[in-house]
Amino acid sequence: KAGVTQTPRYLIKTRGQQVTLSCSPISGHRSVSWYQQTPGQGLQFLFEYFSETQRNKGNFPGRFSGRQFSNSRSEMNVSTLELGDSALYLCASSLADYLSTDTQYFGPGTRLTVL
């Protein structure tokens, strides 16, 4: 099976712009989670989607949003970019059936740089 894929891998934007990141989960996985990783704050949970619904949300401002499509692919959007949004954004998918645990399989990440 193919792993979790994220596009683009690298992105450079300027303050005030918006950005959309994409994630394709492992085939058959129904849950997709997003994380932000920065040197200062570490690895922080953004949100989780399951069956096109946001099921969990971390402590991030409303500028951060996401969605999940019927094929489980997910996108996250950051509007009005700030310098502090520069980070590695990681997507992870989970099988999420009634027998499974919450083991997550991570993509390689999208490195976002805000200038």
| Contact present, 63 and 83 (Cβ < 8 Å) | no
Backbone angle region of 96, left / alpha / beta, with phi > 0 → left and psi within -120 to 50 → alpha: left
The residue (of 12 and 17) whose beta carbon lies closer to other proteins is 12
Computed on alpha carbons and rounded to an integer, the radius of gyration of the chain in Å comes to 14
**55, two tokens:** 């099921």
Determine which residue in the list 31, 68, 72, 74 makes contact with other proteins, applying CB under 8 A.
Answer: 31
The residue (of 75 and 88) whose beta carbon lies closer to other proteins is 88
Q: In whole angstroms, how far apart are CA 32 and each of 11, 27, 39, 90?
A: 21, 12, 23, 10
**What track of x and - describes contact with other proteins for positions 35 through 74 (by CB under 8 A)?**
x------xx-x--x-x----xx-x----------------
Residues near other proteins (CB under 8 A)? 4, 31, 33, 35, 42-43, 45, 48, 50, 55-56, 58, 88, 90, 92, 94, 96, 101-109, 111
